[in-house]
Amino acid sequence: MPSRISTSQVSLYSLETMLKNQKELSRTQLQISTGKRILAPADDPYGSSRLLDLKETVAINEQYQINANQAKNRLNLEEGVLEGVSNAIQRIRELAIQANNDSQTRESRNFISQEIEKLFDQILDLANSTDANGEYLFSGYQGKTRPFAPDINGQVQYYGDDGQRQLKIGTATSVEVSDSGADVFMAVKNGNGTFTTREGANNLGSGVIDPGSVIGNYIPDDYTIKFIPPSNPADPTAPPEYYVLNGNGEVIVAGSGVTPPGGAPLYPDEATFLAAVAGGTDTGVPYQEFESIAGLDQYGIQVHLLGTPDTSTTPGDSFTLSPSRNQSLFTTVRNLIDTLDIAPVDDAASARFHNAMNRAIIDLDQNLGKILEVRARVGARLNTVDKQLDINESFTLQMKQGVSEIEDLDYAEAVTRLNLQLVGLQGAQQTYMKIQGLSLFNYLR
């Protein structure tokens, strides 16, 4: 028996076909308008999962780029501040050399001192520089704490910590974006960086000692060079003589020879040696201006004196050589300013002035070297950041290409599909209209 298809069934089927075509057409139109192939996870479950992973990787890498740019800005700011400090130190050094000339008057040195005072304030301001967020560059982890300020005695103290901030700029790359003020400005070795020389507080002669240098293997100790009258006082041309003590007060250099490092001293104490000199059984080493102090080369030291040390007492003038210790840039500059107040009214005062100025100049050299060292480290970090920026950019581009290959629409295919869907929808609509117009009553007259 033939099946019967009711008018309502035909209408329902035609309507469903039109709605389906309309849905597919709308989806294609939305794809074309957004440029995306995947509009919902159901469109491509595997592709959607892969897309989420790629987009997460891109987002993380873009955050690395933000961090890298922040690091670059902060390091550039620090490098600029350090350049300013370096220029100020260089200018102070030039003024110190100028003031160390005997042609300068007390008045001219006062003018120099005033300029150095201004440069001191400038360095202090630079050391307290802040970044764009108002955090101090050189306070370690204590970003809101002003790192440097004078105490009640006028001595600049450090109130930050030793921390060094880092930013992660790549999957396996982090970079330091700050330097502790304790390291940059406070932990600077004085003297020549290994030992420092100093005249005796009660010196009466015109002897001036140079900063010295290290030769061979330096053996740290507190060495003292002491002067005595010539062993032949009847000879008016005889030079003064000297001997050297180690930190234990033992005589290690005298006219009778030199104690090798680690060996038994020539004399166990100074009194025994001076008794030998008085008894005529030993002498000091004859002093020659500009010549190296004898015997200290075995201890890794080369040092010279100029001028004439006083030997009116026994012992007479003395000079010490001690291992270098940390001394802040602010202390070095303040010592220089205080030294410029010395009025060299006689040979002894002049020697004290020049000894102090020589120390200040060599200490400035150490500070300048430290600033240049930190600037070199900052430059190396900037190079690391620049390279990582390029790496991150290249990696992000590759990931975005992967996202594009999965997500982006093939416009040519989509437009062709759209046209076919439009034709299909129009055909369904026309068919529906024709079916709707079919009725038996149209054929009854």
Better-scored residue on pLDDT, 204 or 26: 204
Residue with tokens 């150095």: 116
Q: Which tens digits make up the pLDDT trace of 202-245?
A: 999 999 999 999 998 999 999 999 999 998 888 888 999 999 99
Q: Which tens digits make up the pLDDT trace of 83-134?
A: 999 999 999 999 999 999 988 888 999 999 999 999 999 999 999 999 988 9
Structure tokens at 245: 């003590």
Question: Could you tell me the residue ranges of all domains in the chain?
Answer: 52-189+366-396, 195-324
- The overall average pLDDT reported for the chain is 86
Q: How far apart are CA 50 and CA 38, in angstroms?
A: 12
The predicted model gives 194-200 an average pLDDT of 96
Biggest alpha carbon–alpha carbon distance for the chain: 166
Give the global pTM.
0.81
Does position 269 have pLDDT exceeding 60, yes or no?
A: yes
pLDDT band at 61 (very low <50, low <70, confident <90, very high): confident
- In this prediction, residue 59 carries a pLDDT of 85
Q: How far apart are CA 378 and CA 396, in angstroms?
A: 26
- Cα distances (Å, whole numbers) of residue 10 to 13, 14, 95, 285, 427: 5, 6, 105, 129, 15
So what CATH class is 52-189+366-396?
Answer: mainly alpha
Does position 31 have pLDDT exceeding 60, yes or no?
A: no
